[in-house]
Amino acid sequence: MPRRVAVLSVHTSPLAQPGTGDAGGMNVYVLQTALELAQRGVEVEIFTRATSSTDPAVVRVAPGVLVRNVVAGPFEGLDKNDLPTQLCAFTAGVLRAEATHEPGYYDIVHSHYWLSGQVGWLAADRWAVPLVHTAHTLAAVKNAALADGDSPEPPMRAIGEQQVVDEADRLIVNTEHEAAQLVSLHQADPSRIDVVYPGVDLGTFTPGDRGAARAALGLDPQVPVVAFVGRIQPLKAPDVLLRAVARLPEVRLLIAGGPSGSGLATPDGLVDLAAELGITDRVTFLPPQSRDELVAVYRAADIVAVPSYSESFGLVAVEAQACGTPVVAAAVGGLPVAVRDGVTGALVDGHDPADWARTLADVLAAGPATMSRAAIEHAASFSWGHTVDMLLDSYGRAIADHRGRHQRQPTARRGGRRFSMRRGVRA
């Protein structure tokens, strides 16, 4: 078991509010696994890019968990696609932080998303420690399932992802389906891939009083409610829900989230679409919600809908089920793992609003309460404790394999630091 892990999350901070900007499930994953690792006695330092001049250099989140805000480029106004230009500056900040410690301070590097993988590749090589990488999403997968009006991922990202796949000691994926994609799209070595299911905070996301939750949100206790939680962008397909609910005159739609990605180009697009469809009076818009506020949203809904065009797992689906709320989700990515079709909710092939309206109506007619107990039991199998059990297994394999290789291969020392000869020296 490692003593200390350097976690890299370049483009979004684990302390950011999920549901807006680039903050989403990955933020939750990084923070919750760090907290769980710390409880096991493993110290975690998370490196992310500072986005405000007021960001402190170091934030102690909990005993054993630090977030380091690295200054790299302008604090504001940088789109995610602009961040590759700041990777050198970010890498320099990460290396400077490590240089204040004795050699061997970190035992392993875990990078999240391809931008972090580029930094992790260099840092792990410089420190002569293994690199574990979690992609979370892949450019080729997203581009194959683009929503109307969405922008494709740039070729640079696909190239960068291939480089990280080639260099990482181990690759962590959310589902077996994602593992198969890594092999088919990036020719990843299956023996270096570990499937680690994400988790849910089962102490926070629990069943509760639906009537009280609706009262807190000002919702009619008798009207069927369908909820959407997430970033407002074409990839997440909230517009499909609006068009589906327009076919269900008795249903209210609750949308919680903020504009993100290409959705920033038309921040009022959903409001305008609701007016165009004539359902403004049946749609409630909420800003991004804190975890405690999300619990009320999940409990208030009869159904939580996840209509994404691409989703590596779908934490929202598991959180909702932990609260006893069935989920209707697109049959894409990891959602068929997160939702048991016909048991804890339903899966929909495609994004035709008519199909979505029919499926939502069927679940409502059957009585969502009939799926509630199964949803709770299913969600209980996705704990952060179980996620970290699997993470530690992967870390252990990465460290053992790395040590085995370096016992067989020569290393050189410069200035008291070890350099790997396997990939060449990088200063």
**Does the annotation flag 157 for ligand binding?**
yes
Q: DSSP label at 151? A: P
Count of C-beta atoms within a 10 Å radius of residue 96: 10
**Does the annotation flag 156 for ligand binding?**
no
E strands of 309-408, at which residues? 327-330, 345-348
Nearest to 10, CA basis, from 125, 122, 102? 122
Helix 238-245 crosses helix 353-366 at what angle (to 10 degrees)? Answer: 70
The residue written with tokens 């299956």 in the block is 190
**Does the annotation flag 170 for ligand binding?**
no
Encoded amino acid at 374, one letter: A
**Does the annotation flag 231 for ligand binding?**
yes
Per-residue pLDDT of the chain (427 residues; tens, 9 = 90+): 899 999 999 988 898 877 666 777 899 999 999 999 999 999 999 999 998 889 999 999 999 999 999 999 888 777 778 889 999 999 999 999 999 999 899 999 999 999 999 999 999 999 999 999 999 999 999 898 888 878 899 999 999 999 999 999 999 999 999 999 999 999 999 999 999 999 999 999 999 999 999 999 999 999 999 999 998 989 999 999 999 999 999 999 999 998 765 544 445 889 999 999 999 999 999 999 988 899 999 999 999 999 999 998 999 999 999 999 999 999 999 999 999 999 999 999 999 999 999 999 999 999 888 899 999 999 999 999 999 999 999 999 999 999 888 776 654 433 444 444 344 333 3
**Does the annotation flag 11 for ligand binding?**
yes
**Does the annotation flag 24 for ligand binding?**
yes
For residues 120 and 366, give the distance between their C-alpha atoms in angstroms, rounded to a whole number: 49
**Does the annotation flag 143 for ligand binding?**
no
**Does the annotation flag 22 for ligand binding?**
yes
For residues 250 and 219, give the distance between their C-alpha atoms in angstroms, rounded to a whole number: 13
**Does the annotation flag 136 for ligand binding?**
no
Domain architecture of the chain: domains with CATH: 4-199+383-402 (3.40.50.2000), 210-380 (3.40.50.2000)
283-286: strand order across its sheet: 283-286, 252-256, 225-229, 303-306, 327-330, 345-348
**Does the annotation flag 187 for ligand binding?**
no
Residue 67, strand partner residues: 46, 59
Looking from the CA of 27 toward its CB, the CA atoms found within 13 Å total 20
The residue written with tokens 């070729």 in the block is 155
Helix 353-366 crosses helix 369-379 at what angle (to 10 degrees)? Answer: 100
